[in-house]
Amino acid sequence: MSHPIDPTTTRAWARLHDLHDGFTADFRARFAADPQRAERLSFTAGDLFVDLSKSYLDDDVRDALLELAEETGVAQRRDAMLRGERINVTENRAVLHTALRRTADDTVEVDGHNVMADVREVLERMYAFATKVREGSWRGVTGKAITTVVNIGIGGSDLGPVMAYEALLPYVKDGLECRFISNIDPTDVGETLRGVDPETVLFIVASKTFTTLETLTNAHQARSWFLAQLAARGIQDPGAVAKHFVAVSTNLEKVAEFGIEPANAFGFWDWVGGRYSVDSAVGLSLAIAIGPEHFEEFLSGFRTIDEHFATAPAAQNVPLLMGLLNIWYVNFFGAATHAVLPYAQYLHRFPAYLQQLTMESNGKRVRWDGSPVTTQTGEVFWGEPGTNGQHAFYQLIHQGTQLIPADFIAFANPVFALVDGEADQHELFLGNFFAQTKALAFGKTLDEVRAEGTPEEIVTAREFPGNKPTASIMAPALTPAVLGQLIALYEHITFTQGAVWGIDSFDQWGVELGKQMAKELTPAISGDAAALEAQDASTRQLIEYYRAHR
């Protein structure tokens, strides 16, 4: 096994320390001194226009960060990933979500086997199935067409599909809707199925492993609900489940055990991580909702950014620069969190999606060779769409004591045709996007507050310190291709950070212990005295509380 380079021992790290010691953000002075700053520090990747001029980047910092990438071998690791090497060492797997969006004439080999034929074969089956559902030729047990698709999955088998479905709602076929069940909380399945017609529903059970407790429990629950609903209507048909349940998984044996016909199972491969799987068969609900053509556009968006990440010169490489900037913020400015603030209501689940992508990937305390990390890793990603967030938590970003780098995302055009008056409203909306990054960067000085006639005793409360770092990401519109580009951008930002830190960004052992304990606690919860006695005092007390109050 190769050993990662310790970033803290590099020349670049020492240089970054020096730069940090002498660093003042002072955006007013920086913009005044350098009229080209906005232009020089703005970049294009595909349809994404990324303005980093209000970030803590300057020529020296950029050079030192790029040097850090060189010294830690980010490009080599990227190339190893793209070649299909087993860079996920703790699971001994290749990391090839990028293969999911390559074209059929490409070659990507895993252990000497070109996986592109497999990728395209599954995609074609997905498209054929999606088309049948969309055209109404896939019929339910009573001969009716499907109107509601219910995706049952959790983590990567839920967050990607639901986020993308919500983001691309204007592209969803009329008369079709998707719903999503993820939580093992029985209220999730109960609420989601409320009002669903069993004769026109299609369940997609999505689970990479097909062993995930939440998903299998919910799938069994959904099947019982479905059969009970049919029975209540006097419909008995042994073939009913086959017409209303399909699966997406890497574990086709377990799918068959559940009772889903192999013909209705859509596979993917162990080299696709759950949080990187929305562009695999896990995106089946989306493919049905928006149709194969738009799904292809979605994939082409990912491909655009993959190609940019693989080939753009380092100094222009947007995911690389943004990943390195995050290292700068986390490791030199102590930023513990990073906000992602889409000015697009359709992207309201994007921050939640990014939480799994970034935090399951980079929340690691050992490096890929098992040795402890040498610096902080994995900041908390969070956010809400603007302008809602402005009226909730922006106060802390503007005037609080913590440094919170923030990515602002906005689109020049809405994707739907505007009715009278809405064009003005879109402009008002964008006005907020422009204003927030401006206020965060340039603030309002004490003198400016005084000049407004503010009483002296509240002048400091009304001062905006400014100099808060932001990245502004703009695109013409939130199309399927642009959504693919945005997701791939953050995938490669996450990759870059993990590569510098020397961690395996593709395993997730940290979620295992709680899962295992949840299973082990079942006897204690259901009243087995010895099992209850064996618990620690706090857990015992909580279970006793539950048993006394249920």
Distance (Å, whole) CA 138 – CA 149: 12
Using the contact rule CB under 6 A, the part of the chain among 19-27, 202-210, 230-238, 383-391 near ligand F6P is: 202-210
In the complex with ligand F6P, the residue whose CB is nearer, 154 or 167, is 154
Strand order in the sheet with 406-413: 42-45, 48-51, 470-477, 406-413, 337-343, 380-382
CB of 154 to ligand F6P, least distance (A): 5
CB of 91 to ligand F6P, least distance (A): 11
Residue tagged active-site, from 191, 293, 391, 544: 391
Query: For residue 33, what are its two tokens?
Result: 């001194």
DSSP state of 331: I
Query: For residue 387, what are its two tokens?
Result: 């302008």
Distance (Å, whole) CA 16 – CA 324: 11
Q: Is 97 a catalytic residue?
A: no
Cβ-based neighbour number of residue 474 at 10 Å? 18
Indicate the residue type of 550.
R
Q: Does 151 bind ligand F6P (CB under 6 A)?
A: no
In the complex with ligand F6P, the residue whose CB is nearer, 212 or 317, is 212
Distance (Å, whole) CA 520 – CA 529: 14
Using the contact rule CB under 6 A, the part of the chain among 34-42, 51-59, 153-161, 391-399 near ligand F6P is: 153-161
Q: Is 70 a catalytic residue?
A: no
Q: Does 84 bind ligand F6P (CB under 6 A)?
A: no
**x/- map, 108-147, ligand F6P, by CB under 6 A:** ----------------------------------------
Q: What is the DSSP secondary-structure string of 123-171?
A: HHHHHHHHHHHHHT-SB-TTSPBP-EEEEE--GGGTHHHHHHHHHTGGG
In the complex with ligand F6P, the residue whose CB is nearer, 451 or 517, is 517
Contacts of 259 (CB under 8 A, 6+ apart): 223, 241, 245
Nearest in space to 87 (alpha carbons), one of 4, 7, 207 = 4
Q: Does 154 bind ligand F6P (CB under 6 A)?
A: yes
Q: Does 215 bind ligand F6P (CB under 6 A)?
A: yes
Contacts 24+ apart (CB under 8 A), 311-314: 312/45, 314/66, 314/69, 314/70, 314/75
Q: Is 360 a catalytic residue?
A: yes
Residue tagged active-site, from 422, 515, 520, 544: 515
CB of 268 to ligand F6P, least distance (A): 10
Q: Does 285 bind ligand F6P (CB under 6 A)?
A: no
**x/- map, 303-342, ligand F6P, by CB under 6 A:** ----------------------------------------
Which residues does the annotation mark as catalytic?
360, 391, 515
Which residues in this chain contact ligand F6P in the complex, by CB under 6 A? Answer: 154-157, 207-209, 212, 215, 274-275, 360, 508, 511
